Amino acid sequence: MSGVEVAAAVAAATATLAEGYSQYQQGKAEKKAYDMNADILRQNAARKRVETSLNEDIVRSQNRKQLAKARAAFGEAGMITSATTTGVLGQMAGEQEQNAFNLRYAGESEAANYMNQAALQDYYGRSAKANGKNAWKMSMIKAPINAFAAYASAGGFSSEATVDATGQGVSGGNVFFTNASYMG
């Protein structure tokens, strides 16, 4: 065994572990970015709900003013007690309230969409973090395998080794046979 084989093995193991750790760090960074995006989307949802509530109040206030003007106009015309006037005012109030509900529905739908996007960003963040952890764990499994392969390819296992009938090494270089794998 020379230093070249050992150096190749150490370099392969170190490179594998460094790659795994790098992927772990990348997963943590991606999760942080996804978490920040999710927070922004939740803030947008809250802002949209407040904006929708304010706009709904403004629309209702304008609707009350329009109904009051219509009632005053019908009163001046002497038609305030007419069934037709009552029907027209009722229909107007119903349509105006439906417009306010439509405004609320649109705002709540947009806020819910922001919340769904935030939940998706949370999921992506958890996935990125898990993928990073898994890559790190896998690198710990792959490091000895890569070290062994690098050691062998650098000539670490000599073909001059001899094996007796029981599968035990007798002379020569390093032997990588066990009794279970000896096919002699």
- Predicted TM-score (pTM) of the model is 0.67
Helix, coil or strand: residue 155: coil
What digits encode the pLDDT tens for the residues 46-56?
999 999 999 99
Residues 166 and 142 in one domain: no
Residue 67 · residue 41 · CB < 8 Å: no
DSSP single-letter state for residue 174: -
- Which amino acid is located at 176 in the chain? F
Tell me the residue range of the domain where 174 lies.
Answer: 158-184
Residues 114 and 101 in one domain: yes
Q: How many domains does the chain have?
A: 2
Secondary element (H or E) of residue 127: helix 83-153
Q: How far apart are CA 53 and CA 57, in angstroms?
A: 6
If one compares 142 and 1, the residue with the highest pLDDT of the two is 142
Q: How far apart are CA 115 and CA 117, in angstroms?
A: 5
Residues 59 and 27 in one domain: yes
Residues 101 and 41 in one domain: yes
Residue 171 · residue 181 · CB < 8 Å: no
